[in-house]
Chain A
């Protein structure tokens, strides 16, 4: 009897500890003083591709949760952030319209948490002309990383696919990689092309198989990959298409003849269940940020912010991490400014001065600088798909590609240490 009682109180103690633990996991944002900001709002915009072939809104949802949290905790020295999110509907014309609205009509001081396939290429010029910075979180096209006023927290398909190939060469003994990508030049040929160049630079072989985004016939694509004579298949496709491609590969009964690697799109909470157990232990995925179940302070705070200020359906994925991080870095940068003098010019200046910001969500430091192109995040990790989840198999590794030379030159000039 006594021991039972003891058991009971132990359970209560554990519960108390747990609740204390969850209290400790309360989100920490901005000034973190618990006072709601009531001053003159600071307008911040975001453009995301929400309606269309895929929903890219998770970055802006995370940024919104973080800004709400900042506003509930003192804001920017008392001034709240008014966050305006627009949907570009995956349409270049709409992307130009909503950018005009945010930048010219609403006069936002900066854009934070942009995630789109079309927006960056269309609007890079507008941002430069109007002197506004875009701290993007979901870039997928080349233009995004080659513009003066856009800096993204994610790293896009190039470092992710080159990183996967690099890891496979070192750890799986791959000598011939075939990269399966989209025909859209600034996506597929951009990333798969640099995978080929990486392989050649190591005196190994690399080829590409390119698919139209609406392609129905995955079998032929797989046969084309087989015909390339590769020993490793690098799947560099959106998750839905990748699933169809892998299904064709599985059907062919040739899964075990190849080593399988993928860029980031296959890193998502729902993907292991979608692909099924056939790919557990077989597929290795490159991840652009650190794992979504990480234990570091930013990883925990990101989940806490979403739990407290987001909704249950806000995805907890890589883009969401990137959106949170863009928002956090933005707030950190403008908190150092005089709140009375926050306008577009000072905010742009503050963002450009960001240097050596660190987070456990990133492998390397985050910086912006005055350069005409930005890719602060170019080191990544590898995970292995296991039943119902992922296991880390490769720690942070910087991507080895000549594409990064101009970025590294910028880093050297700025004194960024990787």
Chain B
């Protein structure tokens, strides 16, 4: 029985790594720009579809990886530089729902370019891998886990040790004050949009390989990923990462609880809501002002 639990644990960590990676990318952007990007999934999906196209043309795989991240970088940066500033004066929720508009645009575009049909994205890392307690973990999942850990640590160092990182933190704490103090808001935001775009492409590629290469599925996968960021209070990258793993494991373990098994995809939402209630316990009524 322990063996069965172990199998589901490992399997859960593997999917949790994906949630975690996605969540980290969302938090990085939100910290620096105050935008929760609903289009994160769609940007990643365009990257994944581009990679598929490159592989379909029989070009080398490294080019596909580069293309995925390059296209996602361009889309994220494009939105960040051209559209986001127009919304800078609006409250965070409005900025967030505006990105849903961008997601719809990208989804429509993808369905126009790539006719809706079943596709599969094969990556070099799929055939690599090893076994732990009877579960085989392939290389792509390891890349997802390693990517998540690297992004978490690297962003931690970046934010605490570099000058741009310091500016980003200043921006996150209070935009108005940061601007008055001479933080080059646009430039710092552009860097954040860029980093988040590359991460979106990387994540989209891994999701495309591990989940399904389907623009609509990848686009709306952002909603369970948002659950991880809630637990991290939209601020903490390490907490978000751990939350992603935890959600993945819970979702997988629920398979063993028969009556709940068909509902297990709801796990991210339920966990996020419960975690939040617990985090907010004892907190008094807040007064109007900032969140």
Report A-B touching, CB under 8 Å.
yes
What CA separation (Å) do A268 and B119 show in the bound complex?
12
Q: Is B148 an interface residue (CB 8 A)?
A: no
Q: Are A238 and B116 in contact (CB under 8 A)?
A: no
Residues of A within 8 Å of B210, CB to CB, are 244
A251 and B118 contact, Cβ closer than 8 Å, known pairs A214-B217, A223-B255, A240-B214: no
Residues of B within 8 Å of A54, CB to CB, are 116
B-binding residues in A (CB < 8 A): 51-55, 183, 210, 212, 214-221, 223-224, 227, 238-244, 247, 251-253, 268, 270-271, 274-276, 313
Q: Are B119 and A217 in contact (CB under 8 A)?
A: no
5 contacts between A and B (CB under 8 A): A52-B116, A210-B261, A220-B252, A251-B126, A252-B136
Q: Are A183 and B262 in contact (CB under 8 A)?
A: yes
Besides the known contacts A210-B261, A217-B11, A270-B117, 10 further A-B residue pairs in the complex with CB atoms under 8 A apart: A52-B216, A54-B116, A55-B116, A217-B12, A219-B252, A223-B7, A251-B129, A251-B136, A252-B136, A253-B136
Q: Which of A55, A217, A239 contacts B251 (CB 8 A)?
A: A217
Q: Which of B120, B129, B221, B261 contacts A247 (CB 8 A)?
A: B120
Residues of A within 8 Å of B8, CB to CB, are 220, 223
A-B contact count (CB 8 A): 96
Residue count of chain B within 8 Å CB distance of chain A: 41
The winner among A215, A217, A268 for most chain B CB atoms within 10 A is A217
Q: Are B265 and A214 in contact (CB under 8 A)?
A: yes
Instruction: Give 7 nearest A-B pairs by CB, closest first.
Output: A239-B118, A240-B118, A212-B265, A219-B11, A217-B15, A55-B116, A220-B252
A274 and B262 contact, Cβ closer than 8 Å, known pairs A240-B213, A244-B211: no
Q: Which of B135, B217, B262 contacts A252 (CB 8 A)?
A: B135
Rounded to whole Å, the gap between the CB of B148 and the closest CB of chain A is 15
Among residues of B, the one whose C-beta sits closest to the C-beta of A50 is: B116
The winner among B11, B126, B216 for most chain A CB atoms within 10 A is B11
Q: Are A216 and B224 in contact (CB under 8 A)?
A: yes
Q: Which of A51, A212, A243, A268 contacts B212 (CB 8 A)?
A: A243
Chain B interface main SS type = helix
Residues of B within 8 Å of A252, CB to CB, are 135-136
Q: Are B118 and A238 in contact (CB under 8 A)?
A: yes
What CA separation (Å) do A238 and B213 show in the bound complex?
13
Rounded to whole Å, the gap between the CB of A195 and the closest CB of chain B is 17
Q: Which of B11, B131, B138 contacts A220 (CB 8 A)?
A: B11
Residues of B within 8 Å of A53, CB to CB, are 116, 214, 216-217
Q: Is B150 an interface residue (CB 8 A)?
A: no
* Residues of chain B in range 233-291 having any CB-CB distance to chain A below 8 Å: 248, 251-252, 255, 261-262, 264-265
Residues of A within 8 Å of B217, CB to CB, are 53, 214, 240
Q: Is B160 an interface residue (CB 8 A)?
A: no
Residues of A within 8 Å of B12, CB to CB, are 217, 220
Residues of B within 8 Å of A223, CB to CB, are 7-8, 11, 135, 252, 255
What CA separation (Å) do A271 and B118 show in the bound complex?
8
What CA separation (Å) do A251 and B132 show in the bound complex?
13
Residues of A within 8 Å of B221, CB to CB, are 214, 216
What CA separation (Å) do A54 and B118 show in the bound complex?
8
Q: Is B14 an interface residue (CB 8 A)?
A: yes
Residues of A within 8 Å of B111, CB to CB, are 51
Among residues of B, the one whose C-beta sits closest to the C-beta of A212 is: B265
Rounded to whole Å, the gap between the CB of B8 and the closest CB of chain A is 6
Residues of A within 8 Å of B264, CB to CB, are 220
The winner among A247, A270, A275 for most chain B CB atoms within 10 A is A247
Rounded to whole Å, the gap between the CB of B13 and the closest CB of chain A is 10
Q: Is B18 an interface residue (CB 8 A)?
A: yes
Residues of B within 8 Å of A270, CB to CB, are 117-118
Residues of B within 8 Å of A221, CB to CB, are 255
Contact with A along B100-137 (1 / 0, CB 8 A): 00000000000100011111101000100101000110
What CA separation (Å) do A216 and B220 show in the bound complex?
11
Among residues of B, the one whose C-beta sits closest to the C-beta of A189 is: B262
What CA separation (Å) do A220 and B117 show in the bound complex?
25
A217 and B136 contact, Cβ closer than 8 Å, known pairs A55-B117, A212-B262, A313-B115: no
* Residues of chain B in range 182-216 having any CB-CB distance to chain A below 8 Å: 207, 210-214, 216
The winner among B18, B122, B214, B221 for most chain A CB atoms within 10 A is B214
Q: Are A227 and B4 in contact (CB under 8 A)?
A: yes
The winner among A51, A55, A224, A276 for most chain B CB atoms within 10 A is A224
What CA separation (Å) do A298 and B11 show in the bound complex?
48
What CA separation (Å) do A241 and B216 show in the bound complex?
13
Residues of A within 8 Å of B265, CB to CB, are 212, 214-217
What CA separation (Å) do A309 and B7 show in the bound complex?
54
Q: Are A210 and B262 in contact (CB under 8 A)?
A: yes
